[in-house]
């Protein structure tokens, strides 16, 4: 099991898409183990996107991410990072496949609705940035026996 960071960006929040996007993760079988609505401070946005500092789009990205509230989630499941990224779709809504979050809800190449960690290392770093100790609550779900085949003793 792995836990990944998902951020519903200001455009998703402002467009009232939070519930529909959360439902997709839950319907897929992924577990929400942390969730909060927040306004990202400039310093946190700069830290989160530090790898993009110096790139032409960096100032606009930081400005966008701090312009309105976001919904930050810790999402857990077997292969959660790869599954979430596939569900998100291509970076630009205009190029994302139908059936993906960006493909179904986005057309902009600037406003792309959602962020998801791209590796286990990034997920660990990003979760630590956005969640304090005790805010991610991992717990057993009764439905896990129906989400994962446990016949061999571990989920698959």
Q: Which residues are catalytic?
A: 115
Is the C-alpha dihedral spanning 19, 77, 27, 140 positive or negative?
negative
* CB-CB contact of 33 with 76 (8 Å): yes
* CB-CB contact of 7 with 114 (8 Å): yes
Q: Is 15 exposed, middle or buried (0-12, 13-18, 19+ CB in 10 A)?
A: middle
Taking the CB of residue 18, how many other CB atoms lie within 10 A of it? 18
């Amino acid at each position: 099991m792995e836990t990944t960071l998902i951020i519903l960006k200001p455009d998703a929040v402002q467009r009232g898409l939070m519930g529909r996007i959360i439902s997709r993760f839950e319907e897929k079988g992924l577990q929400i183990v942390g969730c909060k609505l927040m306004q990202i401070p400039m310093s946190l946005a700069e830290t989160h996107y530090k790898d993009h500092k110096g790139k032409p789009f960096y100032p606009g990205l930081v400005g966008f991410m701090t312009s309105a509230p976001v919904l930050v989630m810790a999402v857990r499941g077997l292969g959660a990072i790869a599954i979430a990224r596939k569900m998100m779709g291509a970076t630009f809504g205009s190029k994302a496949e139908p059936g993906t979050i960006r493909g179904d809800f986005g057309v902009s190449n600037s406003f792309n609705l959602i962020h998801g960690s791209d590796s286990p290392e990034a997920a660990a770093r990003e979760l630590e940035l956005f969640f304090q100790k005790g805010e991610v609550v991992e717990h057993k779900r009764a439905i896990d026996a129906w989400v994962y085949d446990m016949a061999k003793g571990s989920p698959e």
